[in-house]
């Protein structure tokens, strides 16, 4: 049996794939060369998970890889109708980012409740100004997205004494369905967006939804930037419909320097870093190697994405 060809859509630093020596013919490409190389690949590793090159290259002529793995939780950057309709198996990096993102959300909640951004500003100004902060134990959170990341967030917030409701695609034990979301938003102190990007979730946090929230509520998005209508959020903050927000993901990344979000009141902006802890790339590489070894021996793959839904089902 010929050695399978593994094509890597590169990003720096490159993944450590030494364990696959002799088990795969490893080729590398950038976005410009992807279309020409796809027909010769048995497996595609989308290491550059910020690239949309797969969406552009996949509809071309010739054979396509039997398996595509993306080193990310989301798959919207690579999914196109032709890939969704194909027999190609798609897997993601489920499990790598769950706890780091949950910790990041907890940090944002604490920072906003304890007014840490203002404390740092006052320190830089050498200004001593006593204030009172909010107690978070006993508050309520809604986490929109009931997958592993959403569940990790709920667990971590629960350890801080926050009562948390999970909202998923459909109601089930311990998870509310979409029909409950508006009611839960109206009572929440914290609203966390952790849903995958699908047709149903695109733009779900709009002016109407921000209008439902309490004036004391705070909003956090660590899911996908397109979950939020950014102009509506900026208006909600400017008009004090909500007390504050934190965004780690954006519709356009990097966030343009002329975006109104940079100056939005009571908004924390971070550069899509909530899941990126020291050593995270090595973990992503090791996860792929383990999956490849399963694939090469005919074992069932883990983290298989439902290509119609856009995420790993059953959780």
Nearest to 89 by CA among 314, 292, 315, 297: 292
- Name the token pair of 78: 């690579």
Task: Give dist(CA 223, CA 73) in Å, integer.
Answer: 10
Q: Is the pLDDT of residue 315 over 70?
A: no
| Contact criterion met (CB below 8 Å) for 38 and 65 | yes
Confidence of residue 287 (pLDDT cuts 50, 70, 90): very high
pTM of this prediction? 0.95
> Pseudo-torsion of CA 284, 290, 292, 294, nearest 10°?
-150
What's the pLDDT tens digit per position in 199-248? 999 999 999 999 999 999 999 999 999 999 999 999 999 999 999 999 99
Return the pLDDT at 92: 98
Q: Residue 175 carries which DSSP code? A: B
Task: Give dist(CA 200, CA 227) in Å, integer.
Answer: 9
Return the pLDDT at 260: 92
Q: Is the pLDDT of residue 314 over 80?
A: no
Q: Which residues of 81-117 are buried (b: 16+ CB within 10 A; e: fewer)?
A: eebbebebbbbbbbbbbbbbbbbbbbebbebbbebee
Q: Treating both helix axes as pointing N-terminal to C-terminal, what angle do 116-125 and 98-113 enclose, rounded to 10 degrees?
A: 60
Q: Is the pLDDT of residue 194 over 80?
A: yes
Task: Give dist(CA 261, CA 256) in Å, integer.
Answer: 9
Q: Is the pLDDT of residue 141 over 70?
A: yes
Q: Please, what sign has the CA dihedral across residues 152, 156, 157, 161?
A: positive
Q: Is the pLDDT of residue 52 over 90?
A: yes
197's CB contacts (< 8 A; 6+ apart) are 74, 76, 223, 224, 226, 227, 310
Quick one: average pLDDT of 57-83? 96
Using alpha carbons only, what angle is made at residue 174 by residues 169 and 178, rounded to the nearest 5 degrees? 30
Catalytic residues: 224, 253, 272
- Name the token pair of 163: 């009562």
Return the pLDDT at 88: 98
Could you give the 3-state DSSP secondary structure of residue 155? helix
Task: Give dist(CA 84, CA 49) in Å, integer.
Answer: 18
Quick one: average pLDDT of 89-109? 98
Using alpha carbons only, what angle is made at residue 184 by residues 178 and 190, rounded to the nearest 5 degrees? 115
Task: Give dist(CA 146, CA 144) in Å, integer.
Answer: 7
Quick one: average pLDDT of 134-141? 98
Residue holding tokens 């074992």? Answer: 299
Return the pLDDT at 3: 97
What are the backbone angles phi and psi of residue 184, rounded to the nearest 5°? Answer: -70, -35
Quick one: average pLDDT of 7-31? 96
What does pLDDT average to over the chain?
A: 97
What's the pLDDT tens digit per position in 162-191? 999 999 999 999 999 999 999 999 999 999
């Amino acid at each position: 049996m010929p050695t399978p060809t593994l094509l890597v859509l590169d990003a720096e630093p490159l993944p450590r794939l030494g364990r696959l020596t002799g088990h795969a013919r490893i080729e590398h490409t950038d976005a410009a060369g992807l279309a020409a190389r796809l027909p010769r690949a048995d497996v595609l590793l989308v290491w550059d998970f910020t690239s949309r090159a797969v969406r552009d290259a996949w509809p071309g002529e010739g054979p396509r890889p039997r398996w595509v793995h993306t080193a990310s939780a989301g798959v919207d950057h690579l999914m196109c109708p032709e890939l969704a309709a194909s027999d190609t198996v798609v897997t993601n990096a489920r499990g790598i980012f769950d706890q780091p993102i949950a910790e990041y959300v907890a940090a944002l909640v604490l920072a906003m409740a304890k007014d840490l951004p203002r404390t740092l500003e006052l320190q830089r100004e050498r200004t001593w100004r006593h204030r009172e902060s909010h107690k978070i134990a006993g508050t309520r959170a809604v986490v929109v997205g009931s997958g592993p990341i959403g569940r990790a967030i709920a667990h971590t917030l629960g350890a801080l004494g926050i009562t948390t409701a999970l909202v998923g695609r459909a109601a089930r034990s311990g998870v509310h369905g979409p029909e409950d979301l508006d009611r839960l938003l109206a009572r929440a102190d914290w609203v966390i967006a952790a849903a995958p990007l699908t047709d149903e979730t695109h733009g779900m946090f709009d002016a109407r939804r921000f209008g439902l929230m309490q004036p004391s509520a705070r909003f956090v998005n660590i899911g996908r930037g397109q979950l939020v209508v950014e102009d509506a959020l900026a208006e909600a903050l400017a008009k004090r419909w909500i007390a504050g927000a934190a965004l780690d993901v954006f519709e356009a990344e990097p966030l343009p320097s002329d975006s109104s979000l940079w100056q939005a009141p009571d908004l924390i902006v971070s550069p899509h870093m909530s899941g990126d802890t020291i050593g995270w790339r090595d973990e992503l590489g090791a996860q792929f190697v383990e999956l490849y070894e399963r694939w090469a021996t005919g074992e069932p793959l883990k983290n298989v994405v439902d290509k119609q839904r856009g995420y790993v089902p059953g959780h």
